[in-house]
Amino acid sequence: AAGVIQSPRHLIKEKRETATLKCYPIPRHDTVYWYQQGPGQDPQFLISFYEKMQSDKGSIPDRFSAQQFSDYHSELNMSSLELGDSALYFCASSSQGDTEAFFGQGTRLTVV
Amino acid sequence: GENVEQHPSTLSVQEGDSAVIKCTYSDSASNYFPWYKQELGKGPQLIIDIRSNVGEKKDQRIAVTLNKTAKHFSLHITETQPEDSAVYFCAASKTSGTYKYIFGTGTRLKVLA
């Protein structure tokens, strides 16, 4: 069965650079969530989209932005990267009206 | 704000023994409680979930119980095996609007052979 696809799997950036993370949800899923997981931490909710509109916002820094496109894939744009942004970034998708969310394998971002 | 507390943070059990992980949620409107298993370098995988209209759900060696009054829910793993070793996260969500999950802080389970 198709799963949530995230790219890239690994990314190394320098401080003050920008990064773009991509998420391709499970087919026919219309809701996408982004989570940030620091080393040894639980996943922290950043932002979610439903039908290409932002539906909820968590602890997402102003330096980050995200959007969902017409094909339901989503991109997380991160600017002015800081060392503290180093983390695993997970995307999850679900279908509105169905509560189960499925996670991708994550993108490991390392800021040096 | 909404939060989910999870205990213990680490748990070591002998192979074949049972493991219990407990969570407490703060938002009384929460009505969906999934459990995720996360192996090293991988994304969280849904292993079992429970909705607020039931008190218990079982799937082979895994069971989840829910006490809505106390706002507690627990994961029970019986006859543990080494491959059960992972980090387990509980989460709480509301089935209104979009389903933002509030995660617990995780439990690192080690099953000793």
Q: So what's the pLDDT on residue A74? A: 97
Percent of chain A residues topping a pLDDT of 70: 96
Q: Mean pLDDT of all residues in chain A?
A: 92
Q: So what's the pLDDT on residue B62? A: 97
Q: Where are the alpha helices (DSSP H) in chain B?
A: none
Contact present, A5 and A74 (Cβ < 8 Å): no
Please return the burial class of A16, using the count of CB atoms within 10 Å of its CB with bins 0-12, 13-18 and 19+: exposed
Of A56, A100, A104, the CB nearest to B34: A100
Percent of chain A residues topping a pLDDT of 90: 72
Residue A77: name the closest of A25, A13, A3, A31 by CA: A13
Q: So what's the pLDDT on residue A70? A: 94
Which band of pLDDT confidence, cut at 50, 70 and 90, is reported for residue B99? low
Better pLDDT: A102 or A18:
A18
Taking residues B55-82, report their average pLDDT. 96
Interface of A with B in 5-64 (CB under 8 A): 31, 33, 35, 41-45, 48, 50, 55-56, 58
